[in-house]
Amino acid sequence: MFIYDNYIHNLLRQAEQSAESASADTGAATDAEIKKIIEKAGRLEGLSHREVAQLLMCRDQKHLELIFQTAAKVKAAVYGNRVVMFAPLYVSDWCVNKCAYCNYNSLHQFGRSRLTQEQVRMEVEVLEKMGHKRLALEAGQDSENCPIEYILECLDTIYSMKTGKGAIRRVNVNVAATSVEDYKKLKAAGIGSYILFQETYHRPTYEKVHIAGPKKDFDYHLTALDRAMEAGLDDVGGGALFGLYDPYFEVLGLMLHNEHLEKNYGVGFHTVSVPRLCKADGAIAAGYLYALSDEVFMKITAVLRLAIPFTGIIVSTRESYALRKKLINIGVSQISAGSVTKVGGYSAGLAAQSVAQFEKNDNSKIEDIASWLLDENLIPSFCTACYRSGRTGGRFMGLAKTGKIKNVCQPNALMTLWEYAMDYGSSDFVEKTRALIKSELENIGDEKIRELTAGNIEKIQNGQRDLFV
């Protein structure tokens, strides 16, 4: 395998010793070295494992501030000021696994449910009326009650729906590790990204918290993204559940996983998610010793942005409104909004018996999130154009690394924002959007693209939809 526990521990130990030595002396040598590492990251060159470990061990406030400032600059250089919006859609909480940290573990006694296709339509109708264009389909692992055929049927239902001017244009899928054959079926169904969290890259901890069930197989789970890549799903997303084990170990585990994919398939993670352990009433007590503070969480998010500058970073409603504001400024590029984390949670009456997978810390509505993004001079983006235009995998990363991705992402973000404002925004929101678009159009350097974008925005105002470059 490609996760080497001793190697990661040695990197962290050496970085810790270096930090302690510098603290005992003048710190001048380490100060210069840390600044050199951050400067390298600021040039979008990424970081070595040793450099990642050294930044993770930083405690000096001036170094942390420099890390945060540089992470913000790196994000702006790659993504501009746009933030992608999405919502999760839970379709089944049936699960055969005994995962200690999850409300859906099979030992938790509650009334399990799976949406019928009519109920899927009800949920999607609500989401479309909110203005969402991108969903993350979520389901537990149960081959009898939630087989791959059911997931495919849900995808077909979602893509076939249109509510007024609303439509879901991209569905990312977060379902259990499976076979190449099943991944080929997901590919044929037109999914966006396939997302799977390793939860923890530390094998002993993984085996401890995954008590029983097919998910207990560390190696099969770890190599799931390989099988997805082999099946043609070149946009894959990874992540770790921070709090199960040493968060610094998990960051380096993500680096090794990303490099493995790059080496073998030509492209690494399209996105990395950074969920933190949240309260789950039905979870099995596991004596978690690695809960991380907001300050450490911010540091690992910023270091990830520096280490993998062209990879999207996702933060969910596990985090508070206030903290998500801070995280967006230091590297996060995608957020969920108006989210519900239980089966049938969007439709009145459907969720009466269902249980949330975890306790949320941000209950803000989508319009509230979009509004504060505008207030921060950020662009709430509902764009799904790259996935539908074939700009995935290596092609997307090639455009991102040359800076050319801005020629499509920024215009498409503006167009989808104007769609949202026209169809769902209040008069105040429309005026704020109009002002931001006027300003942002001037920042599009390519004259032809600027004129095309301005023309499409006028067409959207006159009733056309789903325009993109």
What domains, with CATH codes, occur in the chain? 5-76 (no CATH), 83-364 (3.20.20.70), 390-461 (no CATH)
Residue 442's SS3 state is coil
Dist CA 305 CA 438 (whole Å)? 29
Structure token pair of residue 145: 């009650």
Pairing outcome for strands 98-99 and 210-212: antiparallel
Structure token pair of residue 42: 């600021």
- For 370-418, write each residue's pLDDT tens digit: 999 999 999 999 999 998 889 999 899 988 888 888 889 999 999 999 9
- For 110-151, write each residue's pLDDT tens digit: 999 999 999 999 999 999 999 999 999 999 999 999 999 999
Dist CA 382 CA 4 (whole Å)? 39
Q: How many CB atoms lie within 10 A of CB 91?
A: 28
Instruction: Please give the DSSP secondary-structure letter assigned to residue 144.
Output: T
Dist CA 28 CA 31 (whole Å)? 5
pLDDT tops 70 at residue 287: no
- Quickly state the pLDDT bin for 26 (edges 50, 70, 90): very low
pLDDT tops 50 at residue 27: no
CA dihedral of 112, 114, 118, 119, whole degrees rounded to 10: 60
Cβ atoms of 244 and 205 closer than 8 Å: yes
Pairing outcome for strands 82-92 and 379-381: parallel
pLDDT at 17: 87
- Quickly state the pLDDT bin for 28 (edges 50, 70, 90): very low
CA-angle at 317, arms to 128 and 108, nearest 5°: 100
